[in-house]
Amino acid sequence: MSVMISNAAPYGRELFLRYGDECITIRRLARSQGINRVLIKVHPDTRVEALAPREASDDEVLDAVRQRARWIYQQLRQFRAQNEYVIPRRYVSGESHYYLGRQHLLKVIETLTERQGVKLLRGRLEVRIRHKRPDKVKQLLARWYRERAGEVFGRRLDAMLEQALWVSERPPMRVQAMQTRWGSCSPQGRLTLNPHLVKAPRECVDYVILHELCHIAEHNHSERFYRLMGQVMPQWEGIKARLDDMASRLID
């Protein structure tokens, strides 16, 4: 195993990890001030990122990468295996789309008299539209998922707050599409949740909300953060693994 550093690139410095016969590119990004730990992320699209404090030396970042080298390699293998079976959606009748962990058959209905929109009826997602254009079907579905996400996330946030005894008042919440995160918590305690998360099982929604609520008490991924997470959701690691496994099927 060896690690190399490239010259600084406009979008961030690149590290190169050689593990076995593979050379893995890792992009170094800056973490928020006051957070000392290097966070390594492997995304479903096989991007690898190392989020490190600006003041951290390259050697310190490389040490963190070396320590997680086996895990990085295994995550990449897992995501590549999953992506082999992911078929890009065409937004036509007969496709399968997720909502709260269940698959629903898509039915596109062309109509000039009924209002355009999406309805969930008897296990089917029915999209009524003026003309059968895939881009328009995708747009209507995205709007429907966002509306459902706002409703579902609001209800589950209220339920999870009963367990988050360290939160004194209901935090503000918004729904916003993100490419690399299911959720985030700002330093001021505002939660942002990805609308694609509403496609996952309810326990996965609860996990992400609890994760972000834990950040109100511990804003970094410290030992205290994981201890708190384990107290409110002892089985969180298994739920996280399930959500990770579904990511490539849930996000377009």
pLDDT at 245: 81
- Report, at the CATH architecture level, how domain 96-250 is classified: 2-Layer Sandwich (3.30)
pLDDT at 175: 97
pLDDT at 85: 63
pLDDT at 62: 85
pLDDT at 1: 57
**Model confidence, pTM:** 0.71
First to last CA, the chain: 34
The phi, psi pair for 129, rounded to 5°, reads -150, 150
pLDDT at 6: 52
- Angstrom CA distances, 102 to 42, 97, 182, 246, 249, stand at 26, 8, 18, 12, 12
pLDDT at 4: 57
pLDDT at 43: 82
pLDDT at 205: 98
Write out residues in the chain with pLDDT < 50, as ranges: 7-11
How does pLDDT run across 84-132, given as a tens digit for each residue?
Answer: 666 678 999 999 899 999 999 999 999 989 999 999 998 899 999 999 9
Sequence spans of domains, the chain: 2-75, 96-250
